[in-house]
Chain A
Amino acid sequence: MTNVDLDGVSRWYGNVVAVNDVSMSLGTGVTGLLGPNGAGKTTVLHMMAGFLAPSRGTVTLGGEPTWRNPAVYRRLGLVTEREAVYDFLSAYEFVLASARLHGLAQPEAAAQRAIDLVELADAQDRRVGTYSKGMRQRARVAAALVHDPEVLLLDEPFNGMDPRQRMHMMELLHSLGGAGRTILFSSHILEEVEQVSGTVQVIVSGRLAASGDFRTIRRLMTNRPHVFAVQSSDDRRLAVELMGQPSVNGVDIDRDGLTVRAGDYGSFTRALPKIALASGIRVRRLLPSDESLESVFSYLVEA
């Protein structure tokens, strides 16, 4: 298991602070690096990949610094956002060259395995210059995976992929994370992160705004009312009973049922069954409706 650790990392360009005192530790599994455009995601990723020196703090991979240390690339694979590939090579030549530069014992077999992994075998002998954006992206992922790295960093990996390719890439990241790899991918598209990873590092304006499972993060945001969708055998009577509860801030009623805004997640979820039991009301449906990553994210960005 190889961890990537950032300890008190800042990066500034002149007077502009791009990343401000960020500490995080990435372990095995898939982690999403989330933030609006311009938040500092790419800067963090480049520091992790050894392509940018932190102005302050340390960035290590498996305990070794990544800056000015090419040896870390034995354990690290990187897919940058910029879709630069050697257009004059075929995908096979490109991935094979990567395998050779890694000094692998059987570069041909490793290149073929990596190309098969990203499902590019049919087009592997065509020049990369003739590829679609999604195919080029897969060729770059294959080159980054050719040495079977313990850590894989990807900057906006789903850019330019069609839905099927996107799904395949998500499955690939899932399986790599499940196999004990440390995978970090950045994205500003919430659905992507939500589908691939429960664990997020949220960067807002260069600072680490939140870290961990996004559902847990949401529950810890006690200053934000939690919104629940409730359907019961008698919505109007349940609404009256709920308004008497100190943990409930407000209830809306419409044809689909109740929308309850609770101030305290724990108190409300404990109180609801008791109220329903005491009033003889059957609760048919109880859904937290703002535990999506989108609501967590918008709360963090607004904060």
Chain B
Amino acid sequence: MTTISWITARGLFGRRRFLLLFPLPMLLVLLAAMSRAAGVDPGQWGSPIIYGLGLGVVLPVIALIVGTAVLGSEIDDGTLVHVLTKPLPRWQIVLPKLGVATLVTALTAAIPLYVAGVLANSIRFGLGLAAATAVGALVYSALFLALSLVTRRPVLLGLVYVLIWEGLLGNVVSGTTVLSIQHYVMTVADTIAPTTLLEGRVSLPVAIVMSGVFTIGFTVLAIDRLRSFSVAGETS
């Protein structure tokens, strides 16, 4: 573990914001377990809970909380200067932070989605969901980490992307799915474990290529923005 990853992880788990990560995954598992226990047909509850709540809310919101925190909270409280005054190429700062954000998001979102997938269908479906969630965690984290460097309101902008672009437009205007991480995740999950519960609306090549473009593009953007990171004087 690099020193940057260590500081990032300590910072992430040392702040109360971290507690925000748990209610949504717990709700997801609880709803899936209750539906299963009540003997409701998975065709009835699988899609709204896994797609509507799991991939539509739990994954992107956790990625938003974590992705904007790994760099954004250090920008907000000024501690980032301690890392920036080191002779490190800026990619050596961005990549470990992206790694921590991806890992934490993937673990927090993939485990409940795996459980929900198993309860709704099969272990294979659960594993497919978990793997697709890990891919989604990487792409979302790259996006939200870059947002924390390009805007002072990364959480607001991230919510606009998740709720308006993916949540609203993604279901109304079919063309927007090409720029929707949620739909890449669905396609990957549907490819690994095809079911009637999830249906990918973009092709697998598009999902793979666009995931790569999002991840690399936003990571390169973050590295470049960090190179030109300015600190405004408080008394100047």
Contact = CB atoms under 8 A, between A and B. Distances in A.
Interface of A: 18, 37-38, 40-43, 45-46, 49, 51-53, 68, 70-74, 76-78, 80-82, 84-89, 94, 97-98, 100-103, 143-144, 156
Interface residues of B, number: 30
Contacts of A76: 85
B87 A70 contact: yes
Contacts of A46: 230-233, 236
A98 to B, nearest CB: 7
Contacts of B11: 86, 88
Interface string B204-236: 000000000000000000000001111111111
B10 A80 contact: no
A80 B11 CA distance: 20
B7 A86 contact: yes
B14 interface: yes
Contact of A101 (B88, B229, B234, B236): B88
A85 B6 CA distance: 15
27 contacts: A38-B235, A41-B236, A42-B233, A42-B235, A42-B236, A45-B233, A46-B230, A51-B230, A51-B231, A52-B231, A53-B228, A68-B227, A72-B87, A80-B81, A82-B78, A84-B81, A85-B82, A86-B82, A88-B11, A89-B10, A97-B3, A98-B86, A101-B3, A101-B4, A101-B83, A103-B87, A143-B82
A104 to B, nearest CB: 11
Contacts of B231: 46, 51-52, 80
Label chain B's interface by main secondary structure: loop
A82 B88 contact: no
A17 to B, nearest CB: 11
Interface of B: 3-4, 6-7, 10-11, 14, 77-79, 81-90, 227-236
A41 B235 contact: yes
Contact of B82 (A18, A68, A87, A98): A98
A88 B10 contact: yes
Contacts, number: 96
**10 closest residue pairs by CB, A with B:** A42-B233, A84-B78, A88-B14, A43-B236, A42-B236, A101-B86, A51-B231, A82-B78, A100-B3, A73-B87
A52 to B, nearest CB: 5
A86 B85 contact: no
A87 B15 CA distance: 10
A49 B234 contact: no
Contacts of B235: 37-38, 41-42, 81, 156
Contact of A51 (B81, B88, B234): B81
A139 B85 CA distance: 15
- Most chain B CB within 10 A, of A37, A71, A80, is at A80
B87 A51 contact: no
B53 to A, nearest CB: 32
A49 B236 CA distance: 15
Contacts of A42: 233-236
B85 to A, nearest CB: 5
B86 to A, nearest CB: 4
B2 to A, nearest CB: 9
